[in-house]
Amino acid sequence: MNQELGPIASILRHVVLLFGALIMLSPFIVMIVTSLKPQSEILSADFTLWPKTWYAVENYRAALTSTPLLLYMLNGVIVTVAIFVLQVLVALPAAYALAKLRFRFRGLMFGAVLLCLLIPMHATAIPVYVLLFKLGLLNTYASLILPFAISVFGIFLMRQFFLTVPDDIIDAARIDGMSEFGIVWRVMLPTAVPAVIAFGIFSVVAHWNDYFWPLIAVGDRNLFTPPLGIAYFKLDEAGTNYGPLMAAATIAITPLVIGFLLAQRRFIEGITFTGMKS
Amino acid sequence: MSETDQQSSCAGHASRRGAVEIRGLTKSFGAVSVLKGVDLRIAPGEFVTILGPSGCGKSTLMRIVAGLERQDGGEILIDGGSVDEMRPSARDIAMVFQSYALYPHLTVRENIAVPLRMRELSAVQRLPGARLLSASARRAVREADRAVRDVAALLKIEPLLDRKPGQLSGGQKQRVALGRAMVRKPRVFLMDEPLSNLDAELRVHMRAEIAQLHRSLGVTFIYVTHDQAEAMTMSDRVVVMMNGMPLQIAPPEEIYDDPADLAVARFVGSPRINVLDGRVQGGGIAAAGVVLPLATGLADGTSVQVAIRPNRATLDPAVAAPRVSGRLVHRENLGSDLFLYVATEGSAEPLIVRQDPGIAGRLAVGEAAEVGLPVEHVYVFDAEGRRIALLASDARRRAHG
Amino acid sequence: MADQAYSRPAVRGGAGRGGLRWFDPVAAALAGPALILMLIFLIGPMVVVILLSLTDYQLGAASLSFVGLHNYAEMFGDRTFQKSLANTLIYVGVVVPCSVLLGLGAALLIEADRRMRGFYRAVYFLPVMATLIAMAIVWEFMLHPQFGVVNLTLEAIGIPGQSWLQNPSLVLFTLCGIGIWQSIGFNMVLFMAGLTAIPSDLYEAASVDGANRALDRFRLVTWPMLGPVTLFVIVITSIRSFQVFDTVQVITKGGPNKASEVLLHTMYTEGFSFFRTGYAAALTVIFLLFVLALSALKVFVLDKRTHYA
């Protein structure tokens, strides 16, 4: 489908797509514009794209000072990074064993992985909550991180990738004196970098944006992640102090959006790749 | 060789290591028996090729010697000591793989250095930055660097040291794989079809290089291949393997000239050997309508098979030999050689005769042809394909060779 | 442990099970942590949630007793649950066809020509990336009856504004709209992957065979080749839509008067506001049955027919 369209079809295509793009972008435009306006202008009955009075400094200062928004962002980084690192540490050796070793319960374990792929996060929330409650771990970083340390999806994805790595390389590494763990980290991981990046994008996007589990697991404001922080910001301000609220929303989505704009292709590939396999 | 012989031979080559002894090795995968009791002794510094069709168990044998696969029964000794409980890296061996098995993310220099770094540096010293803190780690790294450069110089791959495997040609990758094997100065080199991914011309060239490498290193080489040309040109001895059993273990000339089994005779030699069904008849063998004066001492009527190499059969009327009559069905002129395919009644496949173009040059397809079978070059095998010793063959062999 | 490493060779074709030890320390060290975590956080909880649904357990209670199917009986007699299940099915029934069709349309239009392809792709994909909670709050602001951009725009072109989130007969469809807005980009990139997997010589063959118009080529080549991808996209969009929660929780809390109550929100309210754990577990089991049925559809029907990647 790489041929170019004729002039009329081409114009038609742009008209339709630009109209769609306007709708797709409208919340982002409204959010940013509103975050630059004073309350009086926001609540007026005529919407302008360009603020009459610039109120950006005040709104963003309010967003950052009336709630510890930067702390929420830091929590978001800590939680998403910790989850991703643990997922890789747990999933890669398991994926290697499933792809390249011959052991007694391999079929059974892979069956369990396939079964667990079907379980949505929400279905395990109640028992996991009870478990963390009994262990006294609710309201800790651990409660945000531990339940996601296991990614059966990551295991499945990496196993599929490892199957394509030639056995000879693994044998060569054994003869060269590497242990099985050495093979995982020094041979398999470097060859699997593209798959790990795709999985990383998938994992970080999912957990940075996750609202359901943090809402359940933590009540302590010092542990809030950005989605939780924004939701409570809205509650606190009774949802009417729109300037700072939109400023906070802008700040919360910024890291992923910047990452996306910088590495658009990788993000789309990552989400497509993982979406296709999930 | 008994144990004491083994020791004396070791004493005889005090500096030479790498005697390999394989005793009663068995291995099956599920119901499939891949190795059925393999015995093999390899002297220090010997170049032994294991030759056989795919699926004969030769690769499994090599993988067990390397320690990549565990045998079901039997044992492996290197320099008199059992290595069965050792990890591959502890066996002091090196292996070159068919696919080269280079680490794609490491440069040539790093690839070659891997075995040394694994051996010389502890896990802690291998951590990034550890070299800044440990003098012994620095020294080990320096020595490894020098060893890598020496090997690279020997293999003439110095300009490639900073490239990644993806930027190399097949022949260059092959050299890097050889370098990675050589750098650790192993007792035994294992090579698993190392040339089969190269094009024909390069293969011939690398054949010579590997043979030369073997001479200069003086280390034991065990080489697995399905290519008879590689086996015949490089080895001190060839092990022909079929169905999990070595059928013959002998120097290349003997494998060709004195096959112990019909399967060996068929597998080695190109074009294929001519085989005729025969029957013992009055002190000779009747085949394809003639009686060959070959004394087997077997009872009349016993089924046997007789075989003769295409270059030994002849259409030259001047050679005195029993003649089988047939009809020329096909001719292949390769310039230096002329191959003539003669259909006869005793054989389903036409007999192949290699002839000087001068002698049979004018014979046309469809014409009658008389194939001479000089009996001193005819091998006789029993119904199972095992070679039958001929009576009075001593005299015949002596006369011939 | 490492000394046994050599006895665990890479898998070769035709290798049987013979000779594998009951316990393999290397495999256990590699796969053990994953297996243990799977048991603790996935398989165990699945079993527990089913068992809990048969009890009257309340979080923090000292004891619990087995009540059989009582929770289920209560649930099916409960108006909130009935409303919640109906709303969820309506939500899925609206979001799936709309977002799949619009995602397909976007993919086809964007891929039809090179010009501005990257720009469109990024713009349509942006909602997939953006934190849904933040964007839900923006949507709520945009849908404000008095000064929301949506009503202001509609009134400017002569259409009366609506109480999008306050009108009980409208609120669920408003949430559907947000769901569609968020899903289009995701479906679009899946379709794009499907489109690039179509060999270009098929289009050339179609042209040679006389399919000159874009619509002919679509019917002859694109649509049949995209068929399996489409089925796949429908199933995963259904599963994702079933899990609608964020927008409901932050914008409407299921209101007004349960008009936007959905399954996960009911489960959340029962389990984590009222701490009726046993009852919430029963709700979870119902939710799970739907998701598993859809997943089973994917595994048993689709995986055999899709051949991308």
Residues C262-285 have pLDDT tens digits of 999 999 999 988 888 999 999 999
- Tell me A186's DSSP state: I
Calculate helix-pair angle for A193-209, A69-100, nearest 10 degrees.
Answer: 140
Which of the given ranges, A267-271, B44-48, B314-318, B343-347, has the highest pLDDT on average?
Answer: B44-48
Calculate helix-pair angle for C277-297, C223-242, nearest 10 degrees.
Answer: 180
Residues 6+ apart with CB under 8 A from B336: none
Q: What are phi and psi of A47, to 5 degrees?
A: -90, 130
B70 touches chain C (CB under 8 A): yes
Residues C80-92 have pLDDT tens digits of 999 999 999 999 9
Q: How many angstroms separate the CA of residue B105 from the nearest CA in chain A?
A: 6
Q: Give yes or no for residue C2 having a pLDDT over 60.
A: no
The beta-carbon neighbor of B30 closest among C3, C9, C18 is C18
Confidence at A55, pLDDT banded by 50, 70, 90:
confident
- Which of B89, B93, B117 has the most A C-beta neighbours within 10 Å, making it the best mutation to test the interface with A? B89
Q: Give yes or no for residue C225 having a pLDDT over 50.
A: yes
Nearest-by-CA chain A residue for C281: A126
CB contact under 8 A, B119 and A191: no
Q: How many angstroms separate the CA of residue C169 from the nearest CA in chain A?
A: 23
B12 touches chain C (CB under 8 A): no
Chain C partners of B92 at a C-beta cutoff of 8 Å?
none
The average pLDDT across B368-376 equals 87
Q: Residues C207, C217: contact at Cβ < 8 Å?
A: yes
Q: Give yes or no for residue B198 having a pLDDT over 90.
A: no
Predicted local distance difference test score (pLDDT) of residue B267 = 92
Predicted local distance difference test score (pLDDT) of residue B131 = 67
CB contact under 8 A, B89 and A169: no
CB contact under 8 A, A98 and C31: yes
Integer CA distances (angstroms), B196 to B96, B224, C187, in order: 12, 11, 46
Predicted local distance difference test score (pLDDT) of residue B160 = 93
Predicted local distance difference test score (pLDDT) of residue C196 = 83
Q: Give yes or no for residue B87 having a pLDDT over 50.
A: yes
CB contact under 8 A, B95 and A175: yes
Chain A partners of C195 at a C-beta cutoff of 8 Å?
1
The beta-carbon neighbor of B105 closest among A176, A178, A190 is A190
- Which of C99, C115, C129 has the most A C-beta neighbours within 10 Å, making it the best mutation to test the interface with A? C129
Predicted local distance difference test score (pLDDT) of residue B13 = 42
CB contact under 8 A, A261 and C2: no
Nearest-by-CA chain B residue for C2: B87
The average pLDDT across A40-61 equals 82
CB contact under 8 A, B68 and C9: yes
Sheet with B368-372: strands ordered across: B351-355, B338-343, B323-333, B368-372
Predicted local distance difference test score (pLDDT) of residue B286 = 86
CB contact under 8 A, B70 and C2: no
CB contact under 8 A, C37 and A150: yes
Q: Residues A276, C193: contact at Cβ < 8 Å?
A: yes
What percent of chain B is modeled with pLDDT above 70?
A: 92
> Quick check: bond before C256 cis, omega within 30?
yes
Confidence at C247, pLDDT banded by 50, 70, 90:
very high
CATH 1.10.3720.10 assigned to C72-305: yes
Q: How many angstroms separate the CA of residue C21 from the nearest CA in chain B?
A: 12
pTM of the model: 0.83
Q: Give yes or no for residue C62 having a pLDDT over 60.
A: yes
Q: Give yes or no for residue A255 having a pLDDT over 70.
A: yes
Q: Give yes or no for residue B395 having a pLDDT over 70.
A: no
Chain C partners of A167 at a C-beta cutoff of 8 Å?
10-12
Residue A203's closest CA among A22, A82, A42, A37? A82
CB contact under 8 A, A171 and B97: yes
CB contact under 8 A, C287 and A122: yes
Chain C partners of B27 at a C-beta cutoff of 8 Å?
none
Calculate helix-pair angle for A193-209, A242-262, nearest 10 degrees.
Answer: 170
CB contact under 8 A, C14 and B31: no
Helix and strand numbers, DSSP H then E, in chain B:
12, 19
Residues A151-193 have pLDDT tens digits of 999 999 999 899 989 999 999 999 998 889 999 999 999 988 9
Predicted local distance difference test score (pLDDT) of residue A67 = 85
The overall average pLDDT reported for chain A is 89
Predicted local distance difference test score (pLDDT) of residue A277 = 56
Q: How many angstroms separate the CA of residue C18 from the nearest CA in chain B?
A: 5
The beta-carbon neighbor of C19 closest among B31, B72, B87 is B72
Q: How many angstroms separate the CA of residue B93 from the nearest CA in chain A?
A: 8
Residues B212-270 have pLDDT tens digits of 989 988 899 999 999 999 999 999 999 999 999 999 999 999 999 999 999 999 999 88
Q: Give yes or no for residue B289 having a pLDDT over 60.
A: yes
The beta-carbon neighbor of A252 closest among C131, C222, C243 is C131
Nearest-by-CA chain B residue for C12: B29
CA–CA separation, C114 and C103 (whole Å):
18
Residues C177-206 have pLDDT tens digits of 999 999 999 999 999 988 888 887 887 787
Chain C partners of A278 at a C-beta cutoff of 8 Å?
236
The beta-carbon neighbor of A4 closest among C113, C153, C184 is C113
Burial class of residue B105 in the structure, from the number of CB atoms within 10 Å of its CB (0-12 exposed, 13-18 middle, 19+ buried): middle
Confidence at B400, pLDDT banded by 50, 70, 90:
very low
Q: What is the distance, to the nearest Å, from the Cα of residue B239 to the centroid of all Cα atoms in its chain?
A: 6
Q: How many angstroms separate the CA of residue A169 from the nearest CA in chain B?
A: 4
Predicted local distance difference test score (pLDDT) of residue B361 = 65
The beta-carbon neighbor of A43 closest among C42, C147, C239 is C147
Predicted local distance difference test score (pLDDT) of residue C301 = 64
CA–CA separation, B202 and B171 (whole Å):
7
Predicted local distance difference test score (pLDDT) of residue B392 = 63
Predicted local distance difference test score (pLDDT) of residue B10 = 39
CB contact under 8 A, A10 and C31: no
The average pLDDT across B205-214 equals 90
Considering the segment(s) A63-274 as one domain, its CATH architecture is Orthogonal Bundle (1.10)
Predicted local distance difference test score (pLDDT) of residue C304 = 57
Q: Residues B114, A176: contact at Cβ < 8 Å?
A: yes
In this prediction the ipTM stands at 0.89
Cβ-based interface (< 8 Å): residues of B facing A: 63, 66-68, 87-89, 93-95, 97-106, 114-115, 118-119, 180
Q: Give yes or no for residue A199 having a pLDDT over 80.
A: yes
C13 touches chain B (CB under 8 A): no
Q: CB contacts < 8 Å between A and B, how many? A: 61
The overall average pLDDT reported for chain B is 85
Chain C partners of B86 at a C-beta cutoff of 8 Å?
6
Residues A221-251 have pLDDT tens digits of 899 999 999 998 888 875 678 888 999 999 9
The average pLDDT across B194-217 equals 88
CA–CA separation, C190 and C229 (whole Å):
8
Chain A partners of B63 at a C-beta cutoff of 8 Å?
171
Confidence at A210, pLDDT banded by 50, 70, 90:
very high
Least confident of A39-53, B327-341, C125-139: A39-53
Q: Residues B79, B10: contact at Cβ < 8 Å?
A: yes
Burial of B133-170, coded b for 16+ CB within 10 Å and e otherwise, reads eeeebeebbeebeebbeebbebbebeebbeebbeebee
Predicted local distance difference test score (pLDDT) of residue B14 = 39
Nearest-by-CA chain B residue for A187: B103
CA–CA separation, A83 and C42 (whole Å):
16
The overall average pLDDT reported for chain C is 85
What percent of chain A is modeled with pLDDT above 90?
A: 58
- Which of C1, C6, C21, C26 has the most B C-beta neighbours within 10 Å, making it the best mutation to test the interface with B? C6
Predicted local distance difference test score (pLDDT) of residue C9 = 44
Confidence at C13, pLDDT banded by 50, 70, 90:
very low
One-letter amino acid of A110: F
Confidence at B369, pLDDT banded by 50, 70, 90:
confident
CB contact under 8 A, C41 and A98: no
Q: Give yes or no for residue C213 having a pLDDT over 90.
A: no
Chains sharing 3 or more CB pairs under 8 A with chain A: B, C
CB contact under 8 A, C6 and B88: yes
CA–CA separation, A38 and A30 (whole Å):
14
Q: Give yes or no for residue B46 having a pLDDT over 50.
A: yes
- Which of B64, B70, B89 has the most C C-beta neighbours within 10 Å, making it the best mutation to test the interface with C? B70
Confidence at C158, pLDDT banded by 50, 70, 90:
confident
Segments making up each domain of chain A, as ranges? 2-61, 63-274
